[in-house]
Structure 1
Amino acid sequence: MSTNALYTDLSGYYDLMCADIDYPAQSHAVKRLHQLFGNGGQRHLDLACGTGPHIRHFLDFGFQCAGLDIHQPMLDKAQQRCPEAMFSVGDMCDFQFDTSFDLITCFLYSIHYSQGLDKLRGCIASAHRALSDNGLFCFNAVDKTRINNALYVGHSVQHEGSEFTFRSGWHYVGPGERQSLRLSIHRSTNGVDESWHDEHPMVALSFPELVRLLEPWFEVTLFEHDYERIVPWDGESGNAIFVCVKRQGPDSVGEAR
């Protein structure tokens, strides 16, 4: 089954797949980072927003929110969850809006869906263009040099008479700019078992490489991947939160040209 088919056909189970994610903690932490580093504005755009759980929290914080995702079935569910928000189908590597935003987020490592460095550059440029003065671009990422191919995370959940088991893990064979997210879904219903397996191609890069891509456009600060407290990145862990303040000046203008 292809990547698109998996996400489209199983969009109704996406929230089950993410049932172990602490959306309130993630949303609150990024709101706090926006208070510390951002411009104080309340216009928010969530890239690769999925079914909109993060947007729901930002709406409740008082933000005016928009969401962008490439999968319409995801956005249909997001609109139900967040009727106050504006949603658009589009590619996060090449997007434009008529309005500007004060905060752009990209949760759940979705920045890696850029699928190549050229595409990632397009995402960075699009985010810079869409931000207001001193706006904040915030996302989490994984360093390709610290990926453990043997490590998986998983959880099980009951839903409508079935038991679902979800497993996912990063895979990087190196060298190069491609890694993948390996995903498996198992459903058991009345003794009948079904399984889906997929491998999502993603862009791979180290944190120093990612910082170099960002710096012409943004002032970049890295934090530990800890949504309970704000702690500077220790320089060793393979997951981090990137806090990027829009740069104004000759470097970003020259890069944009």
Structure 2
Amino acid sequence: MPPVVLCDRQGYTQRLYPDRRVIPFDLDILGRRLPLAISYAQGPVILADLVPMARTLSDVLTGQLRVTLEGFDRSASCRVGCAHCCYYLVPVSPAEAFHLERKIRTLPPPQQRAIVGVFRMAGRRLLKRLPEYQLQHADTDRSAERLQRLSDWYASLHLACPFLVNNLCVIYNLRPLACREYWVTSAPDCCRIDGKTPPTLAPLPVRIAEVLTDVCAELEGESEPVLLPVALPFAESQPERCRRTWPAHVAVERFLDVLLHHAHRNSMADREGFCATDAATP
């Protein structure tokens, strides 16, 4: 069993693995109370160990999002073969970058070489154009406006995700949290880089991509989301940082604190967001 997992509240995990600690918690998501728990092995963990649990939790929340959308007679317009959003800026947390690098290294050598080659090509193209962005926006502001400017600049490059092959994601089961949580209810063409109408996002009260980024920042003392096209070289260039450990209880408790803070902060807008979305979208 992985060092940190999302588990049931029935006690099965604790009976099968009595040496593991289980922390139960509740999330009120979109009008429904979700009883959940995190199980972890005693001992040290690295940031990458949080990623499988975070992905499972993200899948649980988006599953509830699907049910809630159906209650409003709506559904996500995302479909196999639609890849408009794969040209967007995709930030990942350092934990996801480290985990992705580890997973790629377990693939057969030919597949490894192919993925690494695509990453290098995408990274070179991005870095070649980076001075252009720096000249246009020579500031150190870390506000949402700065992130939007960076996102707009990245979109202008028409740089496809390194994992997009024939309009399909070749790492779909390992795709970043930001991709998992990007749900739209508007027409697919609204997601095009050159789309005339902006997409309508389905309101997800807690985005685990943001939670994990904040957890990494608090544990490491740095705030540094990573652009997906350079995630692999980012991880490869920092082997000591990849291997840095924390006591499992510290990492898990910090994750839960940040998660519950995000949930509480956004709790007042969850169902209201659905009503507004439903009224505004024909």
The TM-score with structure 2 as length reference comes to: 0.25
Q: Using CA pairs under 8 Å that are at least 6 residues apart, name the structure with larger relative contact order, 1 or 2.
A: 2
Which structure is higher in helix share?
Answer: 2
Structure index of larger Rg: 2
Which structure is higher in strand share?
Answer: 1
The TM-score with structure 1 as length reference comes to: 0.27
